[in-house]
Each structure stands twice: as structure tokens, then as C-alpha cells.
Structure 1
Amino acid sequence: MTTFVLVHGMWHGGWAWERVASLLEADGHPCVAVTLPGKDRAPGDPTFRGHCDHLTGVLTGIDGDVVLVGHSYSGALLTEVGAAPNVRAMVYVSAFCLEPGESVASVNDAEAGSEAGKDDIRQVGDYLVIDPDTARNAFYHDCAPEDAAYAVERLTPEHAGTRVAVVSRAAWRTVPSHFVVCTLDRACTPEVQRMMAARTHSWSELEASHSPMLSMPDAVARTIVKFAGEHVA
């Protein structure tokens, strides 16, 4: 049995995948919605290295094949540790499919247009925070107002090091990978996404904001299942 492991982006938690996970599970696909360590979120090391170790531990604890799905920042985690022995395929949902030596910051800040870039977030001590109105406009502009409000209320600070951490591996070179480009995205521009999508040689597009898990979970679930079906026996 193949397990779908769903990993969230910066400031979010496993809750961001609830709708997609429910759809996948209703279709008979076991899911694990990971909540990464962080302030006001889950115990453990909140740094990029800590997140990589946490995800590696999750993968090690799963019997059987895994399809690894990442949103936004967690694409860097997929890139770094996604070549685990039981990972058969990966899906990047507006996620950072990086080359060794790149970071989320180096890619997202290289092109103008992001509404969640370095000038749109604040550092408080060792953590980055994003203001509610900024998050609402950058992440959830095509979501129902109540869904956007629910998400904004659950955002938590993210360790500053996660955004600038440099990856040392590129798991997508050896693990079959698909990229979902969100064409209405204001956080990671479609142009930047298409550049990264070309690396995977397999991509599709959704007319969605940065958070299609909330605004169109059916389409996200179908995309994941379709790609998994092509690469997992």
C-alpha cells in the first residue's frame, strides 16, 4: 500500500492539507499530513536541518512505498531528503524545486513580483512572521473568506534560517517528480514556478492562488493520484 506524505509550507502546519488528505483517504489512499517543528507548532528543531531530519524520520517510520508531496517551502525538503529508499514519486505544489546551492530566498527574491518576499515579511528575534493582511493577499486570494480567515489565524512564526538554507542535493534528479504550477500565485510567481517546473520534465497548471490545497483540493488530489498511478506499481 502506498502512503501519501503531505508536507506544508512556511508558517503553516499539517492542517493545510486536511481537505486533500480527506479526499485521498476517501479514495483509499493512506495519508500522513506532516507538521514540521516550529514555534507554537510542534516540538523539535525548527531549523531547515531539523525539518529535514523530522521528515526523514517520518519516511523511515512508514512501511511500504511513499508518494511525497510538498507545498511551497517544503519543496526544499523534498529536494534535500526525497531520495529516501521508499519514496517512489514526488509532487511539488508551487514548491521550491531547487538546484544544489540554491535556497528559497535566492530563487524567490531573484525575480520581482512576489508578495511574500523579503520585503513583505518581518524578522522578530530568530523568527520570521507574516502579517495577516499580507498573508491573506499573497496566499489565499481565491479562497472563500471564511477559509482565508481560518488559515490566517493558524499561521505560526518560522525560523529565519529556513528561508536562506541552501540545499545540497537534488532528489528530483532521480525520483520521478511532477510540478503543479499555480497560475494566479502571488507568493511565488508563475514565471519562477515554470522555471523550476522545467527541471522536473513533468508539470501541470492550476488556475489557483498559492494555496490550491484550500481553494481547489479536488484538483490537487486528482493530480497527485494521477501522477502516483503512473509511477507506483
Structure 2
Amino acid sequence: MMSTFPTIVLVHGMWHGGWAWERVATRLEDAGYPCVRVTLPGKERAPGDPTFRGHCDHLVEVLARIPGDVVLAGHSYSGALLTEVGDAPQVRAMIYVSAFCLEPGESVASVNDAEAGSQAGKDDIRQVGDYLVIDPETARHAFYHDCTPADATSASGRLTPEHAGARVAVISRAAWRTVASHFVVCTLDRACTPEVQRMMAARVGSSSELESGHSPMLSMPDALVQTIIKFTKEHMS
């Protein structure tokens, strides 16, 4: 049994914010796990450097303020952040939720665009100035097709522009090589196909599957929380 509960740090994907993790955080906190929902810097989001490097620095700063052990959970794009800076001293485990578990030299774009099938790939998003935007209707189909209509409408209406450099930023390190990591494959995902996810999941050697679209934190938070707690207990005992 764990003597203390680690803090679960929840990091969102592109265009989203800490709000995406609200249901998961509430359930984890009810189970005794303190949570930090990160909102990354970005236009119409949190202040600060909106680039990939800025996101990495922001996550490092968040982690440095947390006393005790941490388990990192990242969704989609933020898997790249976990990969780059997730080996901070207090991080005991990482959980990739349909997230980009990359090798050095790869980017979110290089991996997601290499295989056909994504409905949130380079042809489905628009660049406006220095930012990428995804239209609400595209997001509904790519991210939330298995959510309730109300949840899909609400979430797609809260999306904010993402700095274009975030998607093409190349990873230089692979924290999952030294930090215990688990990959949650979402088998109904239309944004990052199950085939691409399973390729990345094979890298970490520990994975499970949810019959979910791209956003299980909204569509099936109970099942996702069970997965997070199970892996956390295995690596904090």
C-alpha cells in the first residue's frame, strides 16, 4: 500500500485547456489523489510563451512547485512534453492517453501525418498567422464523436488557437526510457489512429485499451481514472 498519495499532474492536448481534465481530476481527488490541471500558455488561454519550448518550460515550472512525488498524465500533443521533460526528479510514472510518445527526432506532425486516417491532420486544420485553428465541426467529428452532443458542443466551443510551431517541434529526448510509462490506446480514436497509437504504445512496453474516441476524459472518465489509479499504485507501492 502507498504511504502517501502522489500528485497527479494532468496536461491537455492542442487547442484544449485544463478544463478538459475536470471530470478526471474530480474523481481522482475524491479517491484521495491531489491533482494539478495544467493550462499551457497560448492565445486566449494562459499567459506566457506559446511555443513548444515555452510549454516545456511551463511544465517544468509547474512540477518544481509541487512537493513530493508526481505522476504525469498527458493527452494527445502533451505526450511530446512528457517525452521531453517528464524525467523531472519527482516524477515517478507517466501515462500517455492517446498521446505522442515520441522518439528523438520525431514531432507530433511527423508521426500523425505519416499514416492516413487522422481526421485532425494537416489537411483538417487551418493556419492563421502564427497559429493553427481547428473548426468546431471538425473537432466534433475528430475529438468528440462518442461524447454526448452537449459535451461535444461545449468542448468544441472552448478550443483556442495553438502556436503552429508546437505541432512540428522536434523532440530531443525520450523521458519514457527512464520513467515508468503506460500508454492508453483509444480504439475508436479518429484524431490519432489506433494503429499509430499502438506503434507508440509498443515503445513503453505497458499499455491498455479503452473503447473510446480521442477524448476519454470526457466520454468515459470513470474508466480512465481506474487506469490511472491502477498504474499509479503499481509504481508507488
Q: TM-score range by the shorter chain?
A: over 0.9
Which SS does the other structure have where 1:95 is aligned?
coil
Match status 1:128 vs 2:107: no
For 1:46-65, list aligned pairs within 5 A: 46-65=50-69
User: 1:91 deviation in Å?
Assistant: 0.1
Which SS does the other structure have where 2:212 is aligned?
coil
Q: Which residue of 2 aligns with 1:219?
A: 223
Q: Which residue of 2 aligns with 1:84?
A: 88
User: 1:73 deviation in Å?
Assistant: 0.1
For 1:213 and 1:15, the matched residues in 2 are separated by 10
TM-score (norm 1): 1.00
Residue among 6, 9, 20 paired with 1:5: 9
For 1:35 and 1:154, the matched residues in 2 are separated by 13
CA deviation profile, 1:108-131 (whole Å, cap 9, x unmatched): 000000000000000000000000
Which SS does the other structure have where 2:214 is aligned?
coil
Q: Which residue of 1 aligns with 2:233?
A: 229
Q: Which residue of 2 aligns with 1:102?
A: 106
Letter aligned with residue 58 of structure 2? H
User: 1:146 deviation in Å?
Assistant: 0.4
Residue among 37, 42, 45 paired with 1:41: 45
User: 1:67 deviation in Å?
Assistant: 0.2
Which SS does the other structure have where 2:157 is aligned?
helix
In the alignment of these two chains, the number of paired residues is: 233
For 1:43-192, list aligned pairs within 5 A: 43-192=47-196
User: 1:232 deviation in Å?
Assistant: 1.1
User: 1:203 deviation in Å?
Assistant: 0.1
For 2:207 and 2:94, the matched residues in 1 are separated by 12
Alignment RMSD: 0.4
Which SS does the other structure have where 1:154 is aligned?
coil
For 1:10 and 1:89, the matched residues in 2 are separated by 22
Letter aligned with residue 218 of structure 1? D
User: 1:69 deviation in Å?
Assistant: 0.2
Gaps of 5+ in 1: none
For 1:52 and 1:222, the matched residues in 2 are separated by 27
Deviating beyond 2 angstroms after TM superposition, the runs of 4 or more aligned structure 1 residues are none
Which SS does the other structure have where 1:42 is aligned?
coil
For 1:153 and 1:195, the matched residues in 2 are separated by 31
For 1:150 and 1:118, the matched residues in 2 are separated by 24
For 1:229 and 1:168, the matched residues in 2 are separated by 30
For 1:125 and 1:221, the matched residues in 2 are separated by 38
Q: Which residue of 2 aligns with 1:210?
A: 214
CA deviation profile, 1:186-211 (whole Å, cap 9, x unmatched): 00000000000000100000000000
Percent identity (aligned) = 81
Which SS does the other structure have where 1:17 is aligned?
helix
